[in-house]
Amino acid sequence: MIQRPFRIWLVAALLAVAATAASAQPVAPVPAPAKPATTKPSGSDIIPNLRLIDGDIDSVLSMLEMLSGRSIIRPASLPTTTYTIDIKRPIPRSEAIQVIETVLSLNNIGVTPMGDHYFKVVALAALKTEAPQLISGSTLGLFPSGRVAAKLFQPKYLRIEDFQQQINGLVSPGVGGAIVPFPKANALLVTDTISNLQRIETLMDKLDKPAPEPKFYTLKFAKASDLVQKIQLIMQNPTLQGQLGATPTITADDRTNQVILVAEPQQRKFFDDLIARLDIKADPNTRTDVIYLKHANAKDVASLLTQVISGQNNAAQKIGAQSEISRPQANNRGPANLAQAASIQAASPSTSFSSIVTVLADERTNSVIVNGTQDDIRLIKQLVDKIDVILPQVRIEVVVAEVKLTNNFQSGIDELGLQLQGNRLVGFAGSTAGLAVGGGAASGSTGSSSTTPSGFASLDHPGYTLSGILGLSTTPRFSMANILSDPTIVTTHNKKATIKVVEQRPVISSYQNTAVGTNTVGSGYLSNVSYKDIGITLTVTPLIGDDGSVQMDIDQTVSDPLADVIIDGNAQPDIETRSTTSFVTVHSGQIVVLGGLQKTERRRSTSRLGPIPFIGDLLGTRTKSTTRTDLIFFIRPTILTNPDKDDQGAMKTISRLPIREDVEGILGKKIPPPPSKKPFWQLFKKD
């Protein structure tokens, strides 16, 4: 304890002078603030005023020592500054002490009592380690002051980690690190001024509330999951979200047909009214309808619709019946009766399938049978209208030619003099005495895929098939080519079409030995024979675009028999197979050329000399020859968009048949007589 007799005498003299001046002048009565009834201080506890002008720390501590009657214990150095306290009205001695403590706290100096006779004065930041007063009860009944104390806060419902984050910004900055958490006890020890402790206690009383209790609605008529789904759809309205301004949770329990709501008390009135308006007795809204299809296959459509409905239901199950709806803060705008507005919105058409919808296919009538709500049937009809459409069709003409290769060319395309852009035929050159046949490449075709060749590459003339347009035997050069097949097929978008030019040959696939007492094969056995296709197989899967383009997935397979081989005494054909897979894109009417399926055949021959067989064969000439061939596929797709124009080729063919009149009777239309046949080259002759 540091004695300061001179300063004590000075402060006493100042207080005496102040008391004399106060007695000489009448003091106007000051109305007391409204407070709870307390014991009125006696006359000796009232001081006429409290004044200290530009005093130092020692003067303030001396004044505190005189008013409290306690001795001051302090370190040698404290924050230095000047202090001014100027209270000119009578004030209780206890309040004067609290005023001085508050002024010191504002200047980062803390005061804490030590028993009944001492005050310890230290820097505010170090006060938490100096055993400040621990308040066990409520701080709300204390006089708000700057006295530093400690209090243990232990909420009942709040997590202490969350509560600490909320009050970190409220503690006095001078009392650094004055919050000590006790997570296992869910408690916080806070060291701060009395006024700040009161703020923290008030905040905890407001926030430490139990979670809203769930409310159970037992439905009488509606199904719980359907009603919850409808409410979730209603809650997407921004106006309702702004009005409610909280985060309710609503869940369906179909086992008990109950709706479980967890929401704030002020929100329950809204859900009470809404559920009461929706859970009413109504006529069943399920019905059965038959949707007849015009173009699509009923089995395929029913399978597709079932997958769509199942996928939506599975997605809803993953999300769960529970849905938390986050919305902004409440405002005062919007309808006065939210439940009434929400029930009106509930009557709007649904955009999702219910859980009771079923779809079946009736293949006999090519229809789908739908059972469900009116919204289900409406949604399915909208889907069927988009699915049950006519798929575009394409006519695919194919010419398969075998080209004999000479030593001058390595491929059939070069041998024929074909001019290609990518895989697309744009022209060829061929001539005979005094005649040029075919068409040259279009000008600019080298760099542009949109230009039109000047010759047959884009020819679409009724009465001339693809093989007629190509005319592979017109010139001597093209006499090296032999057309093996020129079929025409019609298919639809994304439907595989197959062309086969094959023969079937028997092949022994297995045999069973029926001989008794022998292990040899050659007598007494049964053979199982299967047949293999040998020839040309072409499959085309077209994808028809809206811009007139046709993408074709083309598989080519060519199999040829070679010399027979003997297996277990049986002659079996040795089959050579060549295959390719291509994916090309052309426009309707353009010709695609595919080649490269080459074959080399070596032959030996002997010429007999004279009539004597053995001697003539021995003395005759012997020759060897090698023949190379290449299979060329010409493919022309034509999108069928104009029935009259698309039928012209077929009508021209029928007009040349002797049964033309019979076909006219069946079709009910007149078939024009065949036109006069013009030589092919006149199609390109300019007038």
682 and 637 inside one domain:
no
pLDDT in tens, 459-505: 344 445 665 556 544 444 455 677 788 888 889 988 999 988 888 88
* pLDDT reading at 151 higher than 50: yes
**DSSP strands (E only) in 104-143:** 109-114, 118-123, 133-135
> Which residue, of 207, 230, 258, is where some domain finishes?
207
486 and 613 inside one domain:
yes
662 and 573 inside one domain:
no
474 and 574 inside one domain:
yes
Residue 224: CATH number of its domain: 3.30.1370.120
623 and 584 inside one domain:
yes
73 and 97 inside one domain:
yes
Which helix (H) or strand (E) element contains residue 505? strand 497-513
Question: If you average pLDDT over residues 343-369, what whole number do you get?
Answer: 78
Cα–Cα distance measured from residue 661 to residue 669, given in angstroms and rounded to the nearest whole number: 10
Q: Does some domain include residue 449?
A: no
161 and 186 inside one domain:
yes
Give whichever of 78-92, 355-369, 590-604 has the largest mean pLDDT.
355-369
> pLDDT category, 336, cuts 50, 70, 90?
very low
Q: Does some domain include residue 669?
A: yes
Residue-level pLDDT at 29: 39
Judging by beta carbons within 10 Å of its beta carbon (0-12, 13-18, 19+), is residue 508 exposed, middle or buried?
Answer: middle
Look up tokens 């200290």; give the residue.
52
Residue-level pLDDT at 532: 81
Cα–Cα distance measured from residue 147 to residue 7, given in angstroms and rounded to the nearest whole number: 24
> Which residue, of 189, 207, 225, is where some domain finishes?
207
Whole domain around residue 681: which residue ranges? 643-686
Residue 462 DSSP code: T
117 and 138 inside one domain:
yes
403 and 265 inside one domain:
no
Shortest CA distance to 200 belongs to which of 143, 155, 156, 134?
A: 155
pTM over 0.85: no
> pLDDT category, 214, cuts 50, 70, 90?
very high
244 and 171 inside one domain:
no
Cα–Cα distance measured from residue 544 to residue 548, given in angstroms and rounded to the nearest whole number: 7
Residue-level pLDDT at 27: 36
Judging by beta carbons within 10 Å of its beta carbon (0-12, 13-18, 19+), is residue 656 exposed, middle or buried?
Answer: exposed
> pLDDT category, 453, cuts 50, 70, 90?
very low
Residue-level pLDDT at 465: 61
Residue-level pLDDT at 251: 93
> pLDDT category, 290, cuts 50, 70, 90?
very high
Residue-level pLDDT at 435: 30
**DSSP strands (E only) in 433-493:** 435-437, 481-485, 488-492
Q: Does some domain include residue 34?
A: no
Question: Can you say whether the dihedral through the CA atoms of 145, 147, 152, 158 is positive or negative?
Answer: positive
Question: If you average pLDDT over residues 39-45, what whole number do you get?
Answer: 56
What are the two backbone dihedrals, phi and then psi, of residue 146, each rounded to the nearest 5 degrees? Answer: -90, 5
Parallel, antiparallel or unpaired: strands 148-153 and 133-135: parallel
Q: What is the 3-state secondary structure (H, E, C) of 221-257?
A: CCCHHHHHHHHHHHCCCHHHHHHHCCCCEEEEECCCC
With residues binned 3-state (H G I as helix, E B as strand, rest as coil), the percentages for the chain, rounded to 5, are 30, 35, 35
Q: Does some domain include residue 663?
A: yes
The chain-wide mean pLDDT, for the chain, equals 74
Alpha helices, DSSP H only, in 361-451? Answer: 374-387, 412-415
188 and 271 inside one domain:
no
Judging by beta carbons within 10 Å of its beta carbon (0-12, 13-18, 19+), is residue 248 exposed, middle or buried?
Answer: buried
Residue-level pLDDT at 261: 94
Q: Does some domain include residue 454?
A: no
Cβ atoms of 583 and 594 closer than 8 Å: no
400 and 357 inside one domain:
no
Q: Does some domain include residue 445?
A: no
> Which residue, of 207, 223, 240, is where some domain finishes?
207
Q: Does some domain include residue 340?
A: no
pLDDT in tens, 276-285: 999 988 766 6
Cα–Cα distance measured from residue 428 to residue 593, given in angstroms and rounded to the nearest whole number: 12
* pLDDT reading at 129 higher than 50: yes
What is the number of domains present in the chain?
Answer: 5
Shortest CA distance to 538 belongs to which of 498, 590, 487, 566?
A: 498
Q: Does some domain include residue 336?
A: no
